[in-house]
Every structure is written in C-alpha cells, then in structure tokens.
Structure 1
C-alpha cells in the first residue's frame, strides 16, 4: 500500500501531497536553510519530483532562486514555505513541518560544519553532503 501525505502552506491556500516514501530525511545546518526557515536548523524530507504535487492553489506558488541549486517555493498569499526543488540532486525537499502526518525519522545531518546549534542525537554529522550528492562525505564528531 502506498502512503500519501497531505500538507499546506500557513494559510491553507496551497495544498501539497507527497506519495510513497521519502528518499531521505534529516537536518540541514547551512546558512541558506537557516535563513530561509528562520531557525537554527531545517528539518528536510527529500522526495523524487514525481512523488510531490500541488493539489490546490498552484496559482499562489511563488519561487525564489538565490542560486541555481535551489528553487524555493512559497505561498504568495501568506508567505508560508512549502518546498524546495534541488536541480543538482533532482530531489524535492518538502519541509518536514509541511507534512504533519509523515513520521519524521531523520537519518543524518548535512552541512554540519556550518551549525549554530550543535545536536547530540547519535546521527551521522556530515561536513557538507554525502559523496553520492557531490559532497565530501566527510563526517564530523558530535559537539559536546
């Protein structure tokens, strides 16, 4: 049986769904994600593009591209963040909080070299990204 998860922006004008299982879940500590999420860390769920779709309010989806690596999508009515398409990885990051029924089970931390919130949770802490995604694959020790 395939699971389908539903979510929306802050005001509910845009609704999204993700079907199946995410490719990965974890935390990103990079300065761009921290700034965009207005938090010290961003919880991500990565999906194949075909598994994610806007089911209502597509006309209210705005886009912001600080770099070619990230097409950040948000609701133009409320400013609520929805997802980010990462062309280099061909994956969509639907923010974990956007899909409230998905059980968030993080497996790793990425860009941990940039952290402002050290986390001791026993998960691997990658300096940048996994080798499979063009990073060094280097792990860092958990901060005390």
Structure 2
C-alpha cells in the first residue's frame, strides 16, 4: 500500500499496489506545473488508486489532451495526474508519504529538458540550508 498527502494534509490518498517505476519527467508541462527542472512520477493502475480525504478540496486542470492534473485548492500541492484512456494514475513522488527506497528508473522527455539542469553534472550536496551567493 502506498499513502500520500498534500502539503497542508487536507487531501490524502492510498494506492493498493507495490511501488513501481519511478521516472523523472522533463517535459515542458511538468516543468511549468511543478516550477522545477523535472517532476518525479510513479505510474500505477487506475483501479489501484482512491482518495481517502479532502476530495472536495481538489481542483484539476487538463494540461494536455486526456491528461488531468489534480492539486489541492488550499495549498497547491500537485498530487496526481490521470490518464483515463491509458488506465493510469501518475503519483507525484513529492507527495508520497510511504517510504520508497528504490531508485528512479529513467529520465524521460530529456528533449524538453531545462538547459540549466544537467542530470550528469555533479554539484554540491548540502544536508540543510541555503548557499550564499
């Protein structure tokens, strides 16, 4: 079972499945929607997913034909994307509460990747805090 929630904790879900593929998506819509270089997702079967609280607080947006992105209207957290025609839910890994220990499987849509982010470049890793400019 996989559990997840939004930043404010008002919207929660569960997915009755084992962890699957983890993908870092670099497509332009994921980058814009998450204000980041990529979005980390885990595709699961549509039937494995259910909202457990806060469904009335959800908003959604069709970011591309047939793809709905669901987010909390209170805190803005993107929780999932849904592709009904593919029988698929994409869990947004940043909102997964269950500890997932496996490593990502692939970077996808690198053709759309942000030019300022290179997944092969080693940079400093800090345990906490900010770096002074």
TM over 0.5: yes
1:113 aligns with 2:111: yes
> 1:129 maps to which residue?
none
Residue range with higher mean Cα deviation, 28-37 or 67-76 = 67-76
Deviation at 1:53, TM superposition (A): 1.0
Query: 1:120/1:88 Cα in 2 relative to 1: closer, same or farther (>3 Å)?
Result: farther
More relative contact order in 1 or in 2 (CA 8 Å, sep 6+)? 2
Residue range with higher mean Cα deviation, 99-108 or 24-33 = 99-108
Deviation at 1:33, TM superposition (A): 0.1
Structure 2 stretches lacking a partner, 5+ long: 122-133
Deviation at 1:88, TM superposition (A): 4.3
Aligned counterparts, 1:1-144, within 5 A:
4-100=1-97, 101-116=99-114, 117-120=117-120
Query: 1:109 and 1:85 mapped to 2: Cα distance?
Result: 20
Structure 1 stretches lacking a partner, 5+ long: 122-144
Deviation at 1:57, TM superposition (A): 0.9
Q: Secondary structure at the match of 2:47?
A: helix
Where does structure 1 differ by over 3 angstroms across 4 or more consecutive aligned residues? none
Deviation at 1:120, TM superposition (A): 2.2
Q: Secondary structure at the match of 1:74?
A: strand
Query: 1:23 and 1:89 mapped to 2: Cα distance?
Result: 16
RMSD: 1.7
Tell me the TM-score normalised to structure 1 length. 0.75
Query: 1:112/1:24 Cα in 2 relative to 1: closer, same or farther (>3 Å)?
Result: same
Maintained 8 Å contact 1:23/1:48: no
Tell me the TM-score normalised to structure 2 length. 0.80
Q: Secondary structure at the match of 1:12?
A: coil
How many residue pairs match? The answer is 118
